[in-house]
Amino acid sequence: MGWMKTIKNDIPAGLVVYLVALPLCLGIALASGAPLFSGIITGIIGGIVVGFLSDSKLSVSGPAAGLTVIVFSAIATLGSFEAFLLSVFISGLIQLGLGYARAGIIGHFFPVSVITGMLTAIGLSIILKQIPHAFGIDRNNIDIASFFDNYGMNSISELFLIDDFFLPGAAIISVLSMAILLFWDTKSIKNNAILKLIPGPLLVVLLGVGLNELFRAYIPAYALSSAHLVELPVLDGFTSLTKELRFPDFSAISNPNVYIVAITISIVGSLESLLSLEASDKLDPNKRISSPNKELKAQGIGNIIAGLIGGIPLTAVIVRSSANISAGAKGKLSAIFHGVLLLLSVLFFAQWLNYIPLAALAAVLIHVGLKLNKVSTYKNAIKAGMDQYIPFFATIIVILFTDLLKGITFGIIIGFIFVIKSNFRSGLIFSNVSNNYMIQINNNLYFFNKAQLRRRLQQVPKDANLLIDGTAVNFIDYDILLVIKDYCDTAKMNNVKVTIKKSETAAIEFFRK
């Protein structure tokens, strides 16, 4: 009877995830500058394919807000959506290879401050770039990928376009939608057993459609035209679906930018998936632990298929995963079922989806951006200390004013500098009592500790006793050994008696000559 209980819980949970995922699939595709249909394709693959292959019982995959900046920039750089699909295909191969190479631990090698800064910066970019859409400015040249665009505009100056292109109907829809989404985050809703099961994005979509139809009937001047509504191809069955699919341009295989984009997608997508997987496992009432390597394989196969049939990149997504868990899901069926519902939507209900205003989707995306920019995120970064908040803010600033890859790289460099600084600070303890001096080595020492060690040795006066205590370490870099050896060779000239305490495990290294 266990499978009956699973179905009883997973089918309703899958419906909730579908209602959350549908507007997000459309909205993320819109923010990425990709065909809206590609967002639905990725949602279907993330639900059915990755849902089946993933080791996680509760994680849900699909298009992710964290990749919007990369996707928009890549399509512009590569010159066509088809060339971009080739990058998605290759990124899937890379992820699959990482899974077989058991590289699921890669998420542990990126500082938390940098990853948090990356997600925060993406949230800020989404907010800045979706505000014009919220007021009816649905121009194609609003570039989400960078602060500056090719039209002499930037994220701030684009906001002043609102005066010229303002549509009151879009503004009313987006403002009311945002009010609903914010209210739906309050405790009065979350503590209500019934209302908490109704997804806020679904209400926003229904509100947007209803208001626009009211405008059309009673205030035509406020009604939004088709240029400001979702535009999905209307299908009449599976055959017509295959005709709408887009395929990768393999003639771009010699373009080096294709591989740069593919590597970027695979790294960022893998990180986001692994972080979401870890978060889902923590939220799992049964505390099941999922295999990160199997997750990379599942994501890789999903992106291979997405690249081959016209989808944008996918990752495991914590927003949909948490909705799935909150709705009472017990197993994989809920994720798979939500993918099936997305497929049925494009097959039979596309004409109804085309009534959704882009302003409503903009409100959903702005709300996602706000979730990535909680005040607590900034407070926690500052509270954690300088070595956390400086890489955090540096990553945000560089991403906002350049691009995602440069921001992550810069943040990692800043983080590494603080790691080195920490080693300088805590690697050695220097003390003395009268004429007896001690250098205590607390951490494994590497070449970048040479300057500090030499400075301490120079502080030992003539006619002194020096104890070098290395019992707490397992390894000392050869450069450090040479510094110690050189000092010992000259210590007799200054009448300094040197005593070395060594670790048993590091004895050979410590006295290598």
309, 260: one domain: yes
d(CA 22, CA 40): 7
Indicate whether 241 belongs to any domain: yes
506, 397: one domain: no
Place of tokens 């997987």: 277
Position 1 scores a pLDDT of: 45
Position 100 scores a pLDDT of: 94
Position 507 scores a pLDDT of: 44
Q: What is the dihedral of CA 139, 82, 404, 101, to 10 degrees?
A: 160
- SS3 of 154, please? strand
Indicate whether 316 belongs to any domain: yes
CB distance 470 to 506 below 8 Å = yes
Cβ-based neighbours of 376, under 8 Å, separated by 6 or more: none
Indicate whether 153 belongs to any domain: yes
d(CA 457, CA 293): 47
Position 24 scores a pLDDT of: 82
Indicate whether 105 belongs to any domain: yes
Q: Which two tokens stand for residue 299?
A: 């994501």
Indicate whether 422 belongs to any domain: no
d(CA 75, CA 85): 9
306, 189: one domain: yes
d(CA 451, CA 429): 14
Position 60 scores a pLDDT of: 92
Cβ-based neighbours of 18, under 8 Å, separated by 6 or more: 337, 338, 341, 342
398, 475: one domain: no
Nearest C-alpha neighbor of 482 from the set 462, 508, 510: 510
Position 511 scores a pLDDT of: 47
203, 125: one domain: yes
Count, residues in the chain: 513
Indicate whether 351 belongs to any domain: yes
344, 228: one domain: yes
d(CA 183, CA 327): 19
CB distance 448 to 479 below 8 Å = no
Position 301 scores a pLDDT of: 97
CB distance 89 to 248 below 8 Å = yes
357, 502: one domain: no
454, with CB counted inside 10 A (0-12, 13-18, 19+), is middle
404, 481: one domain: no
Nearest C-alpha neighbor of 366 from the set 72, 43, 20, 28: 28
- The string over 151-173, giving b where at least 16 C-beta atoms fall within 10 Å of a residue's C-beta and e elsewhere, is eebebeebbeebeeeebebbbbb
The whole-model pTM stands at 0.71
301, 409: one domain: yes
Q: Which domain holds residue 480?
A: 427-510
402, 434: one domain: no
Inter-helix orientation angle 404-426/386-401, to 10°:
160
Q: What is the DSSP annotation of 169-193?
A: HHHHHHHHHHHHHHHTTSHHHHT-T
DSSP designation for 328: T
Q: How many domains does the chain have?
A: 2
- Say which CATH number the domain at 432 has: 3.30.750.24
Domain closes at, from 414, 443, 467: 414
Position 160 scores a pLDDT of: 62
Domain closes at, from 376, 393, 414: 414
71, 141: one domain: yes
CB distance 311 to 91 below 8 Å = no
DSSP collapsed to 3 states, 233-271: CCCCCHHHHHHHCCCCCHHHHHCHHHHHHHHHHHHHHHH
101, 74: one domain: yes
Indicate whether 421 belongs to any domain: no
pLDDT in tens, the chain (513 residues): 455 656 777 888 888 788 778 888 888 888 888 998 999 999 999 999 999 999 998 899 999 877 887 898 899 889 999 999 999 999 999 999 999 999 887 766 667 787 788 778 878 877 887 888 888 876 544 444 445 554 445 556 556 656 566 789 999 999 999 999 999 888 888 888 888 777 788 888 899 999 999 999 999 999 998 888 888 888 776 677 778 899 999 999 999 999 999 999 998 899 888 878 877 887 788 878 888 999 999 999 999 999 999 999 999 987 788 778 877 888 889 999 999 999 998 888 888 988 989 898 888 888 878 887 889 989 988 998 888 888 899 888 888 877 666 777 788 788 777 766 665 555 677 888 888 998 888 777 776 677 778 888 888 998 899 988 887 777 777 778 888 888 888 888 889 998 888 765 554 444 444
Domain closes at, from 368, 385, 414: 414
Indicate whether 477 belongs to any domain: yes
d(CA 173, CA 210): 10
